[in-house]
Every structure is written in structure tokens, then in C-alpha cells.
Amino acid sequence: AQSVSQHNHHVILSEAASLELGCNYSYGGTVNLFWYVQYPGQHLQLLLKYFSGDPLVKGIKGFEAEFIKSKFSFNLRKPSVQWSDTAEYFCAVSADFYNAGNNRKLIWGLGTSLAVNP
């Protein structure tokens, strides 16, 4: 069965520190990869996604993620975090989402709670 593992459940950083959140998945075929973010009191929103092409994906607010197929990983990075990045971050994987027939389901990681101290 497909699964997604996020290594860090809680991360605390100071402003300007660098961030890397780990995400590994288990699935051998073509995958679509996503990072979603949920700011306090707000709805989940897409941070970035990978479908094909350049494995280094840039998203909103200075975030980026690198798809390493050999490691089944899609780690999220930001060189310098801000207090406003305090949020919960979710990694999600789909098996070729747009060609999956009626099986348009995402498999979600458990989330990483990031707190950035000013």
C-alpha cells in the first residue's frame, strides 16, 4: 500500500534559520507530489507540486522542494524562515493523479508543525 512519511512532527526554529522538512513515500510507479500548508485558522493551501520535468520545484513564499526518485523523497526547503511561516505542513502523494481514472486520491503524511520564533 502507498504511504507517506514525514520525519519531523514538530520543528522549532528561529527567524532566518534554514528549513528542511523530510518527506518519503512508498510507491514504485509514476507519482505526483505535493506540499500543502495550513496557517493557523486558515484552510489548507497548495505550497508547491511536482508532476514531471525539473525535479527542483519552486513554490510560493520562497519555498522549494526537490524530487529525488532514487530516494523516494520530496523534501521541502526554505533558506531563511520568517515568523509568518509558522504553520502545519503536509506532504501528499498521488499515483499519477490525472490518469488514475476514478482513483483521484491523495495519500497524506501526518504533517509537520513548524513554529518560528521571532
Partner 1 sequence: DVKVTQSSRYLVKRTGEKVFLECVQDMDHENMFWYRQDPGLGLRLIYFSYDVKMKEKGDIPEGYSVSREKKERFSLILESASTNQTSMYLCASIGYIHNSPLHFGNGTRLTVT
Nearest distance in Å: CB 18, partner 1: 25
Q: What number of chain residues touch partner 1 (CB under 8 A)?
A: 20
Task: Give the phi and the psi of residue 102 in degrees, each rounded to 5.
Answer: -90, 5
Q: What is d(CA 25, CA 3) in angstroms, rounded to the nearest whole number?
A: 6
**Cβ(84)–Cβ(75) under 8 Å?**
no
**Cβ(51)–Cβ(31) under 8 Å?**
no
Nearest distance in Å: CB 112, partner 1: 10
Binding status of residue 109 toward partner 1 by CB under 8 A: yes
Nearest distance in Å: CB 51, partner 1: 6
Binding status of residue 61 toward partner 1 by CB under 8 A: no
